[in-house]
Amino acid sequence: MADFHSIVILTGAGVSAESGVATFRGPGGLWEGHRVEDVCTPQALARDAELVHRFYDERRAKLAQVEPNAAHLALARLEAQWPGELLLVTQNVDDLHERAGSQRLLHMHGELKSALCAACGVRERWDAPLPPESECPNCGTPALRPDIVFFGEMPYQMERIEAALAQADLFVSIGTSGAVYPAAGFVQTARHRGAATLELNLDPSEGSIWFEESRMGPAGTLVPEWVEEVLSQSTQSSPISR
């Protein structure tokens, strides 16, 4: 692998699978027994706020029972030891990347440990259950909802992500099915700008054809191997060539 200066990494549910966090498109396309339309759309929230809030309350509570795995830890090690630019963009709403030590991290689809005020837009750290009509600490309106980007809503930080993709000379996608846009299109943007593209996934994803290189296997094995490769090459190359 060549000497890279700027890496953008996209992760999806597959990176947390070995920690025991369910992926989205398991057998039957259900997320822990719920249909996407019932828990992950603005319409669902309007129709049955109790159900949607309870679903995310359960997932938030479960975070206490899971730990980062070797893939999260390897990505944090890469950030700490690799001398170039790096941005980790995750579609995951769990907090396993930050618990592993990643800091240059964007949660493009929101976070379980955050609440969003539908009235004033403020985002608030949230560790406890979040009953519907919880009052916003900023504006007092009973309008707090899970800070999750539902289908049909605009992901967070798209400008920063697009800017990083424009600079990147390597784009790596890990554990994502390549089915949810705009994240699924990042590989095409990166390629268009001339970046090398690598996919690490358990199975070929819907976007596999777009990647120059695809490695298939569990993230807990593939990611540490790849990080080791990048770090060993960066120590071999002369700092002057950067």
Active-site residue flag, 109: yes
Nearer to ligand NAD among residue 65 and residue 238 (C-beta): 65
At position 195, the amino acid (one-letter code) is: A
Site for ligand NAD in 180-219 (CB under 6 A): 180, 201-203, 205, 218-219
Instruction: Report the partner that residue 139 touches, choosing among Zn ion, ligand NAD, none (CB closer than 5 to 8 A by kind).
Output: Zn ion
94-133 positions binding ligand NAD, by CB under 6 A: 94, 109
Separation of alpha carbons 55 and 165, rounded Å = 33
From 6, 23, 138, 188, residue interacting with Zn ion (rule: CB under 5 A): 138
Distance, CA of 46 to CA of 204 (rounded, Å) = 36
Which entry of 34, 72, 109, 192 is annotated as an active-site residue? 109
Q: Distance of alpha carbon 67 from its chain centroid, rounded?
A: 16
Nearest to 107 by CA among 62, 163, 157: 157
Bridge partner list, 197: 171
Strand order from edge to edge, sheet including 123-125: 123-125, 110-117, 144-148
Active site residues: 109
Residues that bind ligand NAD (CB under 6 A): 12-14, 16-18, 21, 23-25, 91-94, 109, 175-177, 179-180, 201-203, 205, 218-219
Residues that bind Zn ion (CB under 5 A): 117, 119-120, 122, 136, 138-139
